[in-house]
Amino acid sequence: MVVVVSLVLAALLVATAIRKLTHAPAVVATYRRVGVPEERLNLLAALLLAGAAGLVVGLWWTPAGLAAAVGLVAYFLLAVGAHVRHRDLRPLATPLVFLALSVAALVLHLG
């Protein structure tokens, strides 16, 4: 199960990172609503790509998977918090799903 969750989450993270890297107006607007300036999108994308890479490497070397999962849980907890803090609740489902998958990946890597 750790393989499935890690690979699905990694694929979703790569897709999300690519979306951030486009700096499309809708993406920029979403992040601006929660106080993230456009110039930070590349950094956020890099963090997601690092998380995806860590999850994949973690399939062979558990410490990398654990570190990636912990980092992703923190990232998505902060994302959820930012949406709640700024009362931008419409897109809240997306970071909640990513948070749930990140927690699942962490639990499975621990097991």
Between 25-33 and 2-22, two packed helices, what is the crossing angle to 10 degrees?
A: 100
One-letter identity of residue 102: S
The model's pLDDT over 26-38, given as tens digits with 9 standing for 90+, comes to 999 999 999 999 9
* Residue 12 in this model has a pLDDT that exceeds 90: yes
- What is residue 33's predicted lDDT score, i.e. its pLDDT? 93
Give the pair of three-digit tokens for residue 74.
Answer: 């923190």
Residue 7 identity: L
What is the spatial distance between Cα 52 and Cα 43, in angstroms, rounded to a whole number? 14
**Does the pLDDT of residue 92 top 90, yes or no?**
yes
Q: Does the pLDDT value for residue 59 go beyond 90?
A: yes
Question: Model pTM?
Answer: 0.94
Interhelix angle 62-85/41-57, nearest 10 degrees: 150
Quick one: pLDDT at residue 111? Answer: 84
8 Å CB contact between 35 and 44? no
Statement: residue 40 has pLDDT above 90: yes
